Structure formats: structure tokens, C-alpha cells
Amino acid sequence: MPDTQNSLPRHIAIIMDGNGRWAAAHGLPRSAGHREGAQAVRRTLEAAREMGIAYLTLYAFSTENWSRPPEEIDTLMKLLDRTLDEYQKSAHQKDYRILVSGERERLSAGILAKIDALTRSTAQNKGLTVNLALNYGARQEITYAFNRLLKAGLKEATPSDIAKHLYQPEIPDPELIIRTSGEERLSNFLLWQAAYSEFYFTPVLWPDFTKEELQKAIDAYRMRKRRFGGI
Ligand code: FPP
């Protein structure tokens, strides 16, 4: 590879898009696309861990996703429930630390209990930190930070005050944000944290995402010139 500009990103965030189109292209129901999408999540976690990525944020369910048909929401919640069970069994062996970013309201009591147990039991793991953006919206997150500052009695806030009151303040901003399926927008994802992120868009549909695709995105990132407003 030619000379690179950047070292390995510490934090990669992914907008996993294209499950529905993958299913349509295979003549299958949308639920089959989401099931394959969950497989791609497993592969990507493994790949990121093997590559030595420290933090991986995955956009699993947005606040806007509640507007989907009830059967589809049900499929996504069942897949999530199963995934949480799976992590509870395997997270220690794989050394994953699981965090969740998002609003608790509207999530079922069962899912919330599993999230709480999992985040508690993996808190000391030192391998890959997986941050699941679940019932997540970036405007909601910034509003959440703002309201906490107001409650604390602050009359004026600095950018650092706001950053410290986001859902997961100890996670560094993502150097790289990937979106699959050819769509090129942020869709209310990490608006605050993306200030200096590099974007990588690929036409690959999320269920087809592989370790090689992740490597391609990282290679492209490593070649980018990042100037952070300087010259
Ligand atoms: C986008 O596909 C995908 C989502 C709605 C969120 C991601 C969900 C998964 C990968 C499934 C399981 C995840 C976990 C963590 C268990 P889309 O339905 O918007 O696709 P389309 O734009 O082609 O219709």
C-alpha cells in the first residue's frame, strides 16, 4: 500500500443500511434481510476485534424506525433480543464490552433488563467496545445533554460541557463513519461526534458486508488527508 496519512482508526461507526433491498433482490421477505443483517453484525464485530479497532458504534435502530410497520418492528426487536442473549453468553470469551446509546422510552422492559445486565457484566472487558445505537437519534442525544445541563443549573455551556453529557462521553469521536447500500446521508446519526469524521460510502448492501469491505473502508480512510480546519 502507498504511504498512509493516518493510523488505524480507534473508533469506527457504521450506518447499516440495505437489509430490505438485499431481501428484495433475493426474492425474500424483509425479515430475511434483517436476519442476514444480524449475521453481518457478528462478522463485523469479529473482524473489528481482529483488526485491533477499539470502538465500534452500530446504528441498530433509530428513533425514526418506530414508523415502520409493526411486524417489521417486531422482527427487529426479536433479533435484538436474541443478539443480547448471544452477547451475554459470548461477550466474555470474545472480550467485548457492550454499551448502548439511545433513549430507554418505548423499549420493552425485557429488552431494557437484558441491556442493563449485559452492560453491567461486560463493563470490565478490555477488548472491542461495541456501542449499540438503539432507539437512537442524534438530535435527541444533544437534547438529552442540554436538558441535563439545564437541570444542573448551568446558565451557559461550552462545547466540552455538551460533549461530557452525551450518552457515552468517554468514547472518542469516530474517525471513520461508514454507510452501506449507496445512500449518502447521516440520517440523525452522531451529529455532534461527526464534526471531523471521514465518511466512507459503499454500494454494498449491509447483509453482504464482510471483513474485506471493512478493510477497504479502513484503507481508504488511511489515505485521507485530515486537516481539521487547518491547512
Ligand atoms: C437497514 O436496512 C437496517 C436497519 C433497520 C437497522 C439495522 C438492523 C440490523 C442489522 C438487524 C439486526 C441488528 C442487530 C444489532 C441485532 P433497511 O431495512 O433500512 O434496508 P432498506 O433501506 O434496503 O429497506
CA of 73 to the centre of ligand 1 (A): 10
- Whether residue 93 is predicted with pLDDT greater than 90 in this model: the reply is no
CA of 15 to the centre of ligand 1 (A): 9
Other C-beta atoms lying within 10 Å of the C-beta of residue 24: 13
Residue nearest to atom 16 of ligand 1 (CA): 80
CA of 158 to the centre of ligand 1 (A): 35
User: Could you tell me how many residues make up the chain?
Assistant: 231
- Which position among 3, 6, 19, 65 bears the catalytic label? 65
CA of 19 to the centre of ligand 1 (A): 5
Please tell me the predicted confidence (pLDDT) of residue 56.
98
Tens-digit pLDDT profile for residues 120-146: 999 999 999 999 999 999 999 999 999
20 lines ligand 1 (CB under 6 A): yes
Give the span between the Cα atoms of 77 and 61, in whole angstroms: 9
16 lines ligand 1 (CB under 6 A): yes
Tens-digit pLDDT profile for residues 166-218: 999 999 999 999 999 999 999 999 999 999 999 999 999 999 999 999 999 99
Is 85 in the active site? no
How is the chain split into domains, by residue range? 11-138+173-222
Query: What architecture is domain 11-138+173-222?
Result: 3-Layer(aba) Sandwich (3.40)
207 lines ligand 1 (CB under 6 A): no
Is 161 in the active site? no
Residue nearest to atom 10 of ligand 1 (CA): 37
98 lines ligand 1 (CB under 6 A): no
19 lines ligand 1 (CB under 6 A): yes
Tens-digit pLDDT profile for residues 27-42: 999 999 999 999 999 9
- Confidence at 47, pLDDT banded by 50, 70, 90: very high
- Confidence at 1, pLDDT banded by 50, 70, 90: low
